[in-house]
């Protein structure tokens, strides 16, 4: 029966499955107020409390206030939470949820996976946009094209992280809470992406005192380079390696470039991480989900 249909109708039927799965993710999100609350509270905690708290000690990073500097990082944090929450629900869904109905249906699994990934990424963009509402209060301005490009990068990040989460989830057999995901995946990815500290560059002077010339000379003799009124940041090598190995660092770097105009990593790598990685990860995730059906 199905084989007799023209090829175009297969594509159409697949698109309908993608749409149905995407819609499902969004409907679930809309009915879960705790997720929106989480995004707001993370924004307040990180951007306002840490941003201004730590920002009082660090005068600036390459001319940006600390709150400004971590804004793209907080966007990333929200994307991480939203994407992984949506992906990890798969563990649940497979054992006691709707996914079993999907698995016995004739729907093509790549379409199911694509719907899931696009849904997770869409929620990620919405959740990630909540910190952007703070832009007017941070003495920043963002033009419409910049905003659109930032959303595109955030969407790419959402696809990458959701796909990564789906790959993890399709190998998990038990689920005892989101805590382990948060501590084991979200926080390492977040802290190792240059989200809350610069990879290199100049951090403004501590406190309200400029560093006097004599002290600067003294520091230099110890191998600490102080430029202008601040210090040159040099991360320990092991930390640098971890940050450079984290694909999220590059996506975040591009996002920071779009929001602040500040960039620390090679642009070509940033673009590759945004354009290529999500597609590769999505393909692996779809393949893993297909594996759920043919065990």
Contact footprint for another protein (CB under 8 A)? 1-3, 13, 16-17, 19-21, 24, 27-28, 31-32, 34-35, 85, 88-89, 91-92, 95-107, 173-178, 293-295
Helix axis angle, 109-129 relative to 7-30, nearest 10°?
Answer: 40
Nearby residues of 62 by Cβ (< 8 Å), 6 or more positions away: 198, 201, 202, 262
Q: Which is nearer to another protein, 220 or 293 (CB)?
A: 293
Question: What's the token pair of residue 126?
Answer: 């919405």
Q: Which is nearer to another protein, 43 or 85 (CB)?
A: 85
The CB-of-50 to another protein minimum distance in angstroms stands at 25
Question: How many Å apart are CA 50 and CA 87, to the nearest integer?
Answer: 28
Q: Which is nearer to another protein, 100 or 200 (CB)?
A: 100
Q: Which is nearer to another protein, 80 or 91 (CB)?
A: 91
The CB-of-108 to another protein minimum distance in angstroms stands at 8
The CB-of-15 to another protein minimum distance in angstroms stands at 10
Q: Which is nearer to another protein, 25 or 270 (CB)?
A: 25
The CB-of-84 to another protein minimum distance in angstroms stands at 11
Distances (CA, A) of 257 to 76, 125, 152, 178: 14, 17, 13, 32
The CB-of-20 to another protein minimum distance in angstroms stands at 4
Picking from 74, 52, 70, the residue whose alpha carbon sits closest to that of residue 61 is 70
Q: Is 63 left (phi over 0), alpha (psi -120 to 50) or beta?
A: left
């Amino acid at each position: 029966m199905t084989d007799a249909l023209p090829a175009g109708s297969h594509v159409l039927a697949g698109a309908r499955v993608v749409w149905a799965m995407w819609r499902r993710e969004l409907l679930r999100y809309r009915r879960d107020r705790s997720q929106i609350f989480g995004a707001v509270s993370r924004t307040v905690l990180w951007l306002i409390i840490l941003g201004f708290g730590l920002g009082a000690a660090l005068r600036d990073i390459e001319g940006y206030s600390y709150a400004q500097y971590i804004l793209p990082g907080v966007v990333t944090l929200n994307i991480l939470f939203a994407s992984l929450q949506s992906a990890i629900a798969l563990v649940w869904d497979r054992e006691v949820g709707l996914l079993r109905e999907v698995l016995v249906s004739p729907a093509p699994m790549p379409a199911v996976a694509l719907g899931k990934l696009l849904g997770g990424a869409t929620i990620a963009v919405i959740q990630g946009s909540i910190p952007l509402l703070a832009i007017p209060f941070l003495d920043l301005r963002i033009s419409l094209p910049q905003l659109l490009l930032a959303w595109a990068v955030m969407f790419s990040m959402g696809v990458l992280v959701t796909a990564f989460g789906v790959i993890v989830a399709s190998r998990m057999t038990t689920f005892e809470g989101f805590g382990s995901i948060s501590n084991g995946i979200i926080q390492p990815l977040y802290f190792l992406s240059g989200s809350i500290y610069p990879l290199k560059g100049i951090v403004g002077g501590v406190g309200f005192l400029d560093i006097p010339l004599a002290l600067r000379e003294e520091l230099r003799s110890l191998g600490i380079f102080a430029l202008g009124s601040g210090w040159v940041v040099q991360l320990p090598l092991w930390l640098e390696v971890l940050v450079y190995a984290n694909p999220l660092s590059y996506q975040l770097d591009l996002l920071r470039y779009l929001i602040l105009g500040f960039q620390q990593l090679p642009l070509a790598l940033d673009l590759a991480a945004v354009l290529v990685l999500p597609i590769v990860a999505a393909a692996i995730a779809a393949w893993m989900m297909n594996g759920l059906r043919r065990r």
